Structure 1
Amino acid sequence: MPAGYPEGRVAVVTGAARGVGAAVARELSARGLRVVLLGRELETLRETAAGLPGSSYSIEADITDEAAMQGAAQCVAARFGPASVVVANAGISIAGPFAACDAALWNRVIEVNLIGSAVTARVFLPQLLRTRGYLLQVASTAAFGSAPMMSAYCASKAGVESFAVALRNEMAPEGVGVGVAYLHWTGTDMISELDDHLVLRELRRHQPAPARRVHGPAEVATWLARGIERRAPAVYAPPWLRLAQPLRPLFPYLVARVARRSLAGLSADELHRGVGVLGNGGRADWEAYRSARPTTPPQA
């Protein structure tokens, strides 16, 4: 580890039950950090933690619940000491036409991906200020160009990118680093149903061969861990994505062109096929959220 992160320092990873979050927790643990895994699925978190090479701890919390997250932050500080690294990775996604999507489900994606990231930063910033630590916000190339049928996810990832960049400039004088991780096609259960969603399938098909490659969570976690060690303002997974940054003004036009071709002539049934939450993690969050929220409207 570099001088900024000596062995034994504390890292918190949200959305750590599976996928990239679990892989990042594993990679940071192997590099000598004590890792706190935070998410909605306690048993899955514990299973992941049991396989880590170093010391770890699991906390079940909804990242959109400010009180629960404040409690989680206090627990981290009391058990391990203040966090030096926080990876805001938790996120969910849905696919389907905006007009056909349940309003509460669409809103939940924004709440988890954007508001949850802000809550994560808010509750752990006091610790990062003490350690002059580093926050890595996981975003996506979905922030580069918005794909139809993915409006909530694209909006939320563009939002977390803007949030993290603003926070970086605020926190730099305080000695806290803030980075944005841009992930491309990553082999998690969120894209396991990729071929069921026409627009995503077509967008990938029209990309150059290197851009179509799906990278495994472990490979992505290695890139992110290297970025964390460097306190990088931007981390690209895969690394060649940094070459795409100057071309970002072109991406919305390219995505729109492919989308128009893909959507032309589709029936209503085809457009609505596969509408819903993507991946087991997203489904777990949605089920927990639905079971907790009121089933009847409040009375005046």
Structure 2
Amino acid sequence: MVSSRQQRYRPLVGRVAVVTGAARGVGEATARRLAERGATVALLGHNARALEAVARSLPGGACWWEVDVTDDAGMDRTAALVRARLGAPAVVVANAGIAEGGPFGESDPVSWRRVIEVNLVGSSITARAFLPDLIATRGYYLQIASLAAMGSSPMMSAYCASKAGVESFAHTLQAELAHRGVGVGIAYLNWTDTDMIRDADQHTVLRELRAHMPLPARKVYPVASVAARLVHAVERRSPAVYAPAWLRTVQPFRALLPPMVTRLSRAELPRIEAHHTFDATGLLGVGGRDDVTLRTES
């Protein structure tokens, strides 16, 4: 039940919000929630058809731009176009991300590097492109991270490294931009019901690893509820947001996670390997396949 006070508290009305990776999953759901809360949304991604469909489905419509977040010049041009068309953004959600899994030694170096480029370098390029707008509007930048930033998992080396990197990057921005009136938040997400996670479950190694996690940690959460928490954080310019909320309780104990994960892996990986092979997955989900298509066409 939404209270009358919550109904009145709508700080996003009339504000321009940029969402990267907005064609599907967490990005699409977050853009939808931002639009419902009154924001004018700019959708960024590299699947024009999907972006256009999302834009048409949002309340009041939305503008979209096809761009690769790892393209410095392309992101600069897009930021200028957003500014000219909609005005200076007051919110930027750096959500674009991809993943791949499997043993590090057998991973494809190109795919492994691409995860780092999109998730970490792409986030930095996004921040750089829109930083003048955020300073001008005294806005808010939300960096999508993960539980993987707090406790790494075997068979997900590129993804975990990239999410630890974006967490550190966002902490740096928090300190660097506080006196400029720019808020910076870090979103810690667990397994969320997106095509990337559904694709991961098709690979034995990742499905089995998730199945051996503690019950709360292996649960998959609805994308709409995750997006609602993210936008709630945007409205309050929160320095951190946890989806689900229980992830907050992990923070004080995160130093204990690496030895715990190592101990569990030492016991469980041989048991899994006795019945299944550990193969590299390649880039996961529709977003991963779109990324391969984009680079092949380029």
Which residue in 1 is equivalent to 2:246? 240
Paired amino acid for 2:119: N
Equivalent of residue 191 in structure 1, options 179, 187, 197:
197
Tell me, in whole angstroms, the C-alpha distance in 2 between the residues paired with 1:279 and 1:42. Answer: 17
Alignment of 1:265-284 (within 5 A): 266=273, 270-272=277-279, 275-284=281-290
- Provide the secondary structure at the position in 2 that maps to 1:135: strand
> Are 1:8 and 1:34, in contact at CA under 8 Å, matched by a contact in 2?
yes
Tell me, in whole angstroms, the C-alpha distance in 1 between the residues paired with 2:199 and 2:26. Answer: 17
Which residue in 2 is equivalent to 1:119? 125
> Are 1:12 and 1:85, in contact at CA under 8 Å, matched by a contact in 2?
yes
Which residue in 2 is equivalent to 1:155? 161
Which residue in 2 is equivalent to 1:44? 50
Tell me, in whole angstroms, the C-alpha distance in 1 between the residues paired with 2:232 and 2:172. Answer: 23
Tell me, in whole angstroms, the C-alpha distance in 2 between the residues paired with 1:257 and 1:169. Answer: 35
- Provide the secondary structure at the position in 1 that maps to 2:249: helix
- Provide the secondary structure at the position in 2 that maps to 1:36: strand
Determine whether 1:28 maps to 2:57: no
Which residue in 1 is equivalent to 2:181? 175
Quote how far apart the aligned CAs of 1:271 are. 1.2
Equivalent of residue 285 in structure 1, options 284, 288, 291:
291
Determine whether 1:224 maps to 2:230: yes
Cα 1:146–1:208 change in 2 (3 A) is closer
Tell me, in whole angstroms, the C-alpha distance in 1 between the residues paired with 2:18 and 2:169. Answer: 19
Cα 1:290–1:179 change in 2 (3 A) is same
Which residue in 1 is equivalent to 2:269? 263
5+ residue gaps in structure 2?
1-6
Tell me, in whole angstroms, the C-alpha distance in 2 between the residues paired with 1:206 and 1:234. Answer: 28
Tell me, in whole angstroms, the C-alpha distance in 2 between the residues paired with 1:5 and 1:68. Answer: 30
Alignment of 1:54-203 (within 5 A): 54-203=60-209
Quote how far apart the aligned CAs of 1:206 are. 3.6
Quote how far apart the aligned CAs of 1:2 are. 8.0
Tell me, in whole angstroms, the C-alpha distance in 1 between the residues paired with 2:267 and 2:216. Answer: 22
Tell me, in whole angstroms, the C-alpha distance in 2 between the residues paired with 1:63 and 1:200. Answer: 27
> Are 1:202 and 1:258, in contact at CA under 8 Å, matched by a contact in 2?
no
Equivalent of residue 15 in structure 2, options 9, 22, 29:
9
> Are 1:11 and 1:36, in contact at CA under 8 Å, matched by a contact in 2?
yes
Tell me, in whole angstroms, the C-alpha distance in 2 between the residues paired with 1:31 and 1:103. Answer: 42
Cα 1:280–1:137 change in 2 (3 A) is same
Percent identity at matched positions?
55
Which residue in 2 is equivalent to 1:18? 24
> Are 1:8 and 1:32, in contact at CA under 8 Å, matched by a contact in 2?
yes
Determine whether 1:212 maps to 2:218: yes
Paired amino acid for 1:280: V
Which residue in 2 is equivalent to 1:296? none
Tell me, in whole angstroms, the C-alpha distance in 1 between the residues paired with 2:8 and 2:235. Answer: 7
Cα 1:3–1:130 change in 2 (3 A) is farther
Paired amino acid for 1:210: P
> Are 2:44 and 2:51, in contact at CA under 8 Å, matched by a contact in 1?
yes
TM-score normalised by L of structure 2: 0.93
Question: Bigger CA drift: 53-62 or 192-201?
Answer: 192-201
TM-score normalised by L of structure 1: 0.92
Quote how far apart the aligned CAs of 1:101 are. 1.7
Quote how far apart the aligned CAs of 1:218 are. 0.7
> Are 1:186 and 1:217, in contact at CA under 8 Å, matched by a contact in 2?
yes
> Are 1:66 and 1:119, in contact at CA under 8 Å, matched by a contact in 2?
yes
Quote how far apart the aligned CAs of 1:98 are. 1.6
Paired amino acid for 2:160: C
Quote how far apart the aligned CAs of 1:134 are. 0.1
Q: Which runs of 4+ in 1 moved over 4 A?
A: 1-4
Quote how far apart the aligned CAs of 1:198 are. 4.3
Cα 1:198–1:256 change in 2 (3 A) is farther
Quote how far apart the aligned CAs of 1:6 are. 4.6
